[in-house]
Chain A
């Protein structure tokens, strides 16, 4: 097991920087193909966006800690924040895509958690008094 720790300030402008580091690491150090790399990047970007927009209410100045962990057969990203906790019901009921919408009814948001669950193999969310932890795990293809 090898781990890279990243710390970013809670500003949307920092997400591409974290994504760039993540991309570099998984391109060099994992057997993920381009589609799998995109999945991991998308899941992490969605998670960071949720944390900044919701846990920190869009406020900068807070630190988000990412641990990028390389295992033998999978890759895990653990994301720690100290903002407002996610409502448990949202973690269990991700956005269900529907096939028929009128133009006016088309959704403009709410895909984040659904996409995270589609893009990685395992999602765990836990919290204690001071910290929220989101763990995203994706296995290497056989």
Chain B
């Protein structure tokens, strides 16, 4: 039985910084899915950003087509990691991703904006 690739597990980069607006670092994903396969990598990427001093992060979800509960767990863990000395703001979620946040009531936990422009206008 051949073994499938595990290239996305571990510490490989799944996030890139796309802009810096004052204290806010804007990031987006290089993958279309944030699922169990990539959740660990996501957490490690956020930890690395936090260690480098990026504690106020806007996560632009425009390129993300699908998030499951493992991916959501990684986003929540990231918010907790940034703690009260930072913040994780979300924007650009499609209808499906937004539905996941609503079903789990995590839409009441995060600041979620329709677009990056809206997030920047209000938060910065």
Residue positions of A touching B, CB distance < 8 A: 9, 11-16, 19, 34-35, 38, 41-42, 45-46, 49, 52-53, 60-61, 97-99, 101, 103-104, 106-112, 114-115, 118
What is the CA–CA distance of A104 and B72 in the complex, to the nearest angstrom?
Answer: 16
Cross-chain contact A14 with B4 (CB below 8 angstroms): yes
Cross-chain contact A111 with B69 (CB below 8 angstroms): yes
Cross-chain contact A49 with B109 (CB below 8 angstroms): no
**Assuming A12-B35, A35-B95, A106-B109, what are 12 further A-B pairs, CB within 8 angstroms?**
A12-B36, A34-B95, A35-B99, A38-B95, A41-B66, A42-B100, A60-B3, A97-B103, A97-B105, A106-B79, A109-B69, A109-B73
Q: Which among B3, B4, B6, B9 has the greatest number of chain A C-beta atoms within 10 A?
A: B4
Cross-chain contact A49 with B70 (CB below 8 angstroms): yes
Residues of A with C-beta under 8 A to B103: 97, 114-115, 118
- Expressed in whole angstroms, the minimum distance between the Cβ of A120 and any Cβ of chain B is 13
Of all chain A residues, the one with the shortest Cβ separation from B73 is A108
Cross-chain contact A99 with B4 (CB below 8 angstroms): no
Residues of A with C-beta under 8 A to B35: 12, 15-16, 45, 49
The size bracket of the interface on B is: 35 or more
Cross-chain contact A108 with B77 (CB below 8 angstroms): yes
0/1 string, B84-113, CB within 8 A of A gives 1: 100000000001100110011100110000
What is the CA–CA distance of A21 and B76 in the complex, to the nearest angstrom?
Answer: 29
Residues 27-64 of B contacting A (Cβ, < 8 Å): 33, 35-37
Cross-chain contact A9 with B108 (CB below 8 angstroms): no
Cross-chain contact A111 with B84 (CB below 8 angstroms): no
List 9 tightest A-B contacts by C-beta distance, closest first: A111-B69, A38-B96, A13-B4, A11-B4, A12-B37, A108-B73, A97-B105, A49-B36, A108-B77
